[in-house]
Every structure is written in structure tokens, then in C-alpha cells.
A and B are shown apart, each in its own frame.
Chain A
């Protein structure tokens, strides 16, 4: 009896703790269908069934994905589309689980960071046939096109729209504190690091906000904002010779932020990610956000028009920013069924290139079309015209570099260590080592 009980206790403990770790190989995301398990592309009606997993880039619960699917199916009665919307919190883990358990969707709407990782690992169908000379000429942006390619040059993502990431400021707080004197609201609004520091100090001294700004570093959510801040302050780059590298100017920027935090000109958010910082901006606890974009402007718009939000590019020592940017696009999983791959590609072209649905879909992403032939989809909108003018400041796109996910984890930990008083140079060296350590096959 004693042995039996002991065995049962051991078995229970083993079951409980190993179960989670092992579920990566055995479980599927709840509520989604399994294309691979269908046993083929067609059903009794002879239709090709495809499953589309979409992050809420067209808006949360907008229903636009289903609208697109219905419109496509009405014009293509040989295809049946199941729409599954996923969110940015659980979606990535659901995708990882689905891919490794052989139940990946046929079609995914996402961004290059994950898509190229899947492509490089061999899960995706190549999209080379969609990148015609006409399309490339229409996009006319080498950097943007290369963000859709895997390390061997294969195209894995078909892009639809793009938009820059930038900073947001609270106009009334700037005016009340006098910090407005340091912000350029003329032309394309570029400004310098010196003025950024003075603006933060003025905001601090005036006390109009609880804190001038928050360098959030509690996780990887929205970390492109803090990277853009660091990289712009002294025109540094995080990639050197294809490796993750915080260079000497990056260290200088980290030291500047460290001193600003210690002097109260900025605050650190050790347990905050971008969404937390954005909420504090929306609640007027801080006067600026480092994670503004076309989508966040809407999601975190002022409540009851309590203040005016102002978009500015990131400040840099030479006044010429290098902005991070978002690319929205589609990929097709290679689930071993050519009919599904073909149907998925047809659907992608319908969403992106159809004369009616293409421009409409771009506008739904609240971003700018990658096709120049679509022209100005926001005619008469001065704000969107300003944001469009910032595309000239797009920096190098590095989200497709190997170890991107590991780098992101190392990034927020680097900020935490430096802003807690750590030696910036030594911590940057630790980052450079850890972010480049390849631990997966």
C-alpha cells in the first residue's frame, strides 16, 4: 500500500508537469479545424476547402475577413474558406502548436517576423510565382520586397500594406509645460536628440504629467518602439554583418536613457509592454508614447477627445530618422495539397490585387499600399499624407534575420539591466553574445 501510494504520487507529479511541455507535440489550438486531417482538399461537393487564420490586422472583430471570404466564394464557387481569427496574445503559440502537430492553416495573415521564420524552416509554399516583374515594378521598393524573402531568396510573404512606427505626443501637455518649443511640428516633423532630451526635462520640471515618458521593457510586446528610440538617438543600428549587434552608438544611446531615467526625465516600465505604456499615454499619465502607429493611434485614441495626439518621428542626433515599419502580408502553408495552395494564392490575389477589394483591404489595415499604382487611398487626409511622407525614412528591415525571437527576448532584458543601473557597454556585449547564440536546429 505504501509503495502503491508513493508510485501514484510520483506518477501524478510527473503527469502534471511533463504534460504541458509535451503538449507542443500533441495538442491543437482549440476550435480550429485541421486541414491536414481533412484527408484531402475537396469535400463531397468537390470544393477545395481552405482555412484562413488571421491576426486582427483588419481590426478586432471587424468581420471584414468573413466579408472577404464570402465575396471570393461568390465569385469562385470551387473554393470554400473557413475563417479563424486569432489574437496577438495566444496566436503565436497556437501557430507553433498547429505547425508542429501537422494542423497548420492553409493561409495566414501576419507580418514578416513570423512568416519568414516559418518559411526558412520549410513550412511554407513559395510565392515566387506571385512576384511578377509587374508586381515588383509596382512596389518599387527593394527593402520592402526583401522583407518578404527567406534566407535563400525565396518569397514567402505576399505583402499588401505597410506603415511606419513613430512616437505620439500629448499636445496639450507640451503646450502647458512649454516643452512644445523643442518639438518640430512643421514639415515632416523631424527633430533632434538634444531637443528630445530638453522636451523630457521640461515636461519633468513642469509636472504636467506623472512621468514624461516610459521606457517599457517588461516583455517583447511593441519592442520595436524602444529599439527605434535607442537606434535613432545616436544613429546606431542593431544589425552588423548579418549579426545582432548593439554598437558603440547604441551603447551611447542606452547610457543617455539610463541618465534620463535616473534624473526623472523618463521612467522605466519593468513590468510594462507597449500596450501598458499606450494605456498610460491614453490616460495622460505620461506625455508621450514610443509605440505609435496607424493602428495604435486608433486603438488608443483619446477618450472623449480629452487631448490632442501628435505624431512625430523618432528623434535623432542628425535630425534624419530611420524608422521601423510594419509590413502586412499573407503566406501559404505547404500542407501537401497543391489544390489548397493554388486556391489560397488565388484568394490572396483577390484580397491584395482585386481592383475593388485590394484598395479596400489596404484601407482596412489603416496602412499604405505596397502597390504604388493604388495611389493615394487617403486623399485629403493631411495626417495620413504626413505619415506617408515618412516612408522615405524607412530603415533597414531586420525582422527576418535569424534568431529574431531570441533577440527580442534579449532586448527587453538588456533594457531592464541597463535602466536598473547596469554598465551599458557590458550589458550590450551580453546582448550581442546571447542574441546570436543559435540554439535551435
Chain B
């Protein structure tokens, strides 16, 4: 009898646990569906309409018109090019620099390691507005720190964010400083987890530091590198607050990104939600493609 009753109780228990699990998941699921899935679906649907402030956001279906306009829009292409520049420059720089710093500090004593982690992580925990305001002051044309130092050293003041050629590099520098904190912490942790016996064995066998790095450490931190690359890519594609606060996309759209243009179209100029959503959809597809390529390349074709 006992052998027949035991599985029944177990089944009831299992079912109860399952129900409880789903109940625990419910709040998160509610917010995920309400604030992520629903807006995402609505965004895709709206991109095929002429929804704007003028029609209460309740546009009519206009097929691919927004997408056709988008591919004919020179400002969109300029913004797309700027976005690509930001991604192509920032992702390798952030990844390589973080790995370098991580490699340099992970072997340090606990106190020194914590100090450096704090230094590099500080811009991450500092509010983005505060960070950009400080950088804006440093870049300021007339009384900024950088131009003060340059002129004090006998040089000519630089136009920084005033120049169409320099402005995007000003954006990239800030993006770089605010993006490296988390990857450095991750790399320090990942490098700390590399099997030291493998490293010691290789060193005993006469491997150079470079060989140890490429043959042992690099493969070990590859999952971290993949994560860092994808997250930095997504963040770079979505660079918005920094541009809104620093350059507002100028001069002459030289720092306008797709994300910033999207905001401008939706909330500042045309208030054309359909067109802005079309940009959002295209941006999402591009990010997805970039992420998939990174996944493929960095994992050598295997994702397991």
C-alpha cells in the first residue's frame, strides 16, 4: 500500500510546487509582458501606420510607406552611419581595454584590486546626467578644462563638441569611460577563475606570457568576452541620453544616432510615431543581426 501511495503524494506536491512557482513568476511576467512585449508588438504594428500626435496616435494602415521613406531619408542614413561608427569603434575599444585592465589588476592584492575596480566602476554608478554635465564643462569652448590646459601649455583652443568632425569623438570618449566599468569587473572575476594549475603547467613547460594568455586565459574568458561584446554593442546602438545632453545630434547631424533621431521624430519635431517606430524596428533588426554575428564569430560557430 505504501508503495502505491507515495508517488501520488509526490505528484500532488509537484503540482503544488509548479503552481507556486508560476505564482512567484507572475509579477515579473506581468511586468515583462506589459512593459516589454506589449510595447514591442505595438511598436511593430504602429510602424505600419501613420500614427502621429495629429491623429491621437491612432493612425491608419499605410503599408510600408514609413519604411520606404526611411530608406530615402538622408538624415536617417547619416544617423545610421554615426551609429555604426559608434558601435564599430566603441565595442572593440571597450572590450580590449577592459580585458587589458582586468589582466593588469586581477592578480593584485585585494585592496589594490578593489581600488581599481572602484575607480573604473564609478562612472557606471554615477548618474548619466551628472557624468555628461561634467564632461560638457570639460569640453566647453571658452572656459572648459581641456581648452584651459591646452592654452596654458601654449596651444590653440580646440572646438571639441562645436566641430562636426570632433563632436562624435567627444561622444565616443564619454561612452568609453562609462562603458568600461562593468566589463572590467567581469574580466577580473573571469580571470580569477582561470585554473591556475594550467597556467603553472604551461609556464613550467616554458610557455611565454603571451602564449599563456592566448592558449589558456583567452579561451577561458571567451564567454565573458561574448557577453561584454553583445552588451556593449546594444548599449552603443542605443546611445541616447549622452547625445541628448551633450550635442543634441549636432553639429549638422554629425552626432545624430538612429536612437536620437527616433526620439526627435517622435517627440520633438514631427511627432510622427509611425515613422519613429519604423526606425525602432529597423534598429532592432540591425542589433539582432550584429548580436547574432558576434555570437557566431566569437563562439567559432558553436554556441554551446
Contact = CB atoms under 8 A, between A and B. Distances in A.
Contact of B39 (A23, A100, A211): A23
A420 B252 contact: yes
Contacts of B253: 413
A268 interface: yes
A21 B57 contact: no
A18 B277 contact: yes
A1 B263 CA distance: 36
B46 A25 contact: yes
Contacts of A21: 43, 46-47, 262, 266, 273, 276-277, 279-281
B281 A2 contact: no
B57 A25 contact: yes
B54 A409 contact: no
Contact of B284 (A13, A117, A280, A285): A13
Interface size class, chain A: 35 or more
B37 A420 contact: no
B145 interface: no
A99 interface: yes
Nearest to A22: B43
Given A19-B40, A270-B163, A92 B268 contact: yes
B280 A18 contact: yes
Interface string A395-430: 000000000011011001100110010000000000
Contacts of A18: 39-40, 43-44, 277, 280-281, 284
Interface string B259-277: 1001110111111110111
Contact of A285 (B53, B143, B163, B264): B143
B304 A270 contact: no
A96 interface: yes
Interface stretch (B10-18, B120-128, B187-195, B230-238): B230-238
B295 A5 contact: yes
Contact of A20 (B54, B162, B259, B303): B259
A348 to B, nearest CB: 23
Contacts of A75: none
Interface of B: 35-40, 42-44, 46-47, 50-57, 59, 141-143, 159, 161-164, 167, 230, 234, 237-238, 240, 246-248, 250-253, 259, 262-264, 266-273, 275-277, 279-281, 283-285, 287-288, 291-292, 295, 302-304
B54 A441 contact: yes
8 contacts: A16-B238, A16-B284, A17-B237, A18-B280, A20-B238, A21-B47, A21-B273, A27-B39
Contacts of A37: none
B40 A22 contact: yes
A13 B283 CA distance: 9
Interface in A160-206: none
Contacts of A96: 53, 266-267, 271
B36 A19 contact: yes
Given A21-B276, A405-B269, 5 more contacts: A13-B288, A18-B40, A20-B240, A121-B56, A218-B250
A9 to B, nearest CB: 5
A440 B252 contact: no
Nearest to A273: B248
Given A2-B304, A14-B40, A440-B53, A416 B266 contact: no
